[in-house]
């Protein structure tokens, strides 16, 4: 009697903006909990992948300004951002921008960030990200406290104000560098599953050519995985 057991592990989380599958090995990507990377993938999470601590905690920060004169208001907002950039190295944090992949914000490019309308006709705001590194000894709470302390210490300019927004999210640098480690974990799991059905069965694995994908797994941990299909089949 022929028995075929199919275990399909399909993916979630969106392709990073401005980054394709081939270059994610060099990108720093934001890890969120509620994105589907490909529209045709299942929303179910994979059972097998590499779980590790994220590289950075990331906090959204906004500078607002309400000086009546537009030119003065804009100069105050950008001036406070410049103060944040200058103070960041001393505080052990990094200034960045981006929705899905991150780019450093520096004194050379900070005025490329766009101002947006705030809640009044004569007010504007500018939003960016502050990153704090995570380690075995510095988890999410320590990173959040570091970012909060940094934001409070940024020197104000005119009527500009700075504040954090929303909850922490996290980022991973170069997900594709973990491809081999993930493949090792998939191979070990496949071997165990095949053994459950006896010596007469083996496995077929498809999809390992897909890019590495990512999802939150705990407070500050991430799951890195390859969306693959594993089939246990009789040996011929």
The domain locations on the chain are 5-52+174-234, 56-172
Q: Name residue, tokens 């994979």.
A: 46
| Residues 25/177, Cβ–Cβ less than 8 Å | yes
pLDDT at position 121 is: 82
- DSSP string for 79-126: HHHHHHHHHHHHHT-EEEE-SSB-EE--TTTGGGSPPEE-SSTT-EEE
The fourth-level CATH superfamily of domain 56-172 is LOR/SDH bifunctional enzyme, conserved domain (3.30.70.2690)
Q: Name residue, tokens 């954090």.
A: 164
pLDDT at position 80 is: 98
Using one digit for the tens of pLDDT, what is the confidence trace for 29-79? 999 754 434 433 445 556 789 999 999 999 999 999 999 999 999 999 999
Using one digit for the tens of pLDDT, what is the confidence trace for 101-154? 999 999 999 999 999 999 888 899 999 999 999 998 889 999 999 999 999 999
- Assess whether pLDDT exceeds 70 at residue 167: yes
The rounded distance, in Å, linking the Cα atoms of 59 and 80 is: 17
> What are the Cα distances from residue 94, in Å, to 5, 21, 68, 126, 218?
48, 26, 31, 17, 23
Sign of the C-alpha dihedral computed for residues 62, 63, 68 and 74 taken in this order: negative
pLDDT at position 202 is: 87
| Residues 48/189, Cβ–Cβ less than 8 Å | yes
Using one digit for the tens of pLDDT, what is the confidence trace for 172-192? 999 999 999 999 999 999 989
pLDDT at position 24 is: 55
């Amino acid at each position: 009697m022929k028995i075929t057991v199919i275990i399909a592990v399909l993916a979630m989380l969106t392709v990073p903006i401005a980054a394709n599958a081939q270059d994610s090995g060099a990108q720093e990507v934001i890890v969120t909990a509620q994105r589907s990377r490909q529209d045709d993938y299942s929303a179910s999470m994979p059972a097998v992948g590499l779980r590790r601590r994220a590289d950075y905690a990331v906090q959204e920060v906004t500078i607002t300004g309400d000086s009546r004169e537009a030119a003065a208001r804009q100069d105050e907002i950008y001036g406070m951002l410049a103060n944040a950039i200058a103070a960041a190295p001393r505080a052990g944090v990094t200034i960045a921008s981006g929705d899905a992949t991150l780019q450093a914000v520096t004194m050379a490019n900070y005025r490329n960030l766009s101002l947006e309308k705030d809640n009044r006709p004569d007010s504007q705001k500018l939003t960016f990200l502050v990153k704090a590194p995570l380690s075995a000894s510095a988890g999410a709470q320590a990173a959040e406290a570091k970012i909060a302390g940094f934001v409070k210490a940024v020197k104000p300019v005119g009527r500009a104000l700075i504040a954090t927004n929303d909850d922490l999210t996290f980022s991973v640098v170069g997900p594709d560098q973990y491809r081999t480690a993930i493949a090792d974990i998939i191979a070990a799991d496949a071997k165990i599953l095949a053994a459950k059905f006896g010596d007469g069965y083996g496995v077929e694995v498809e999809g390992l050519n897909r890019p590495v994908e990512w999802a939150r797994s705990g407070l500050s941990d991430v799951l890195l995985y390859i969306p693959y299909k594993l089939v246990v089949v009789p040996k011929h």
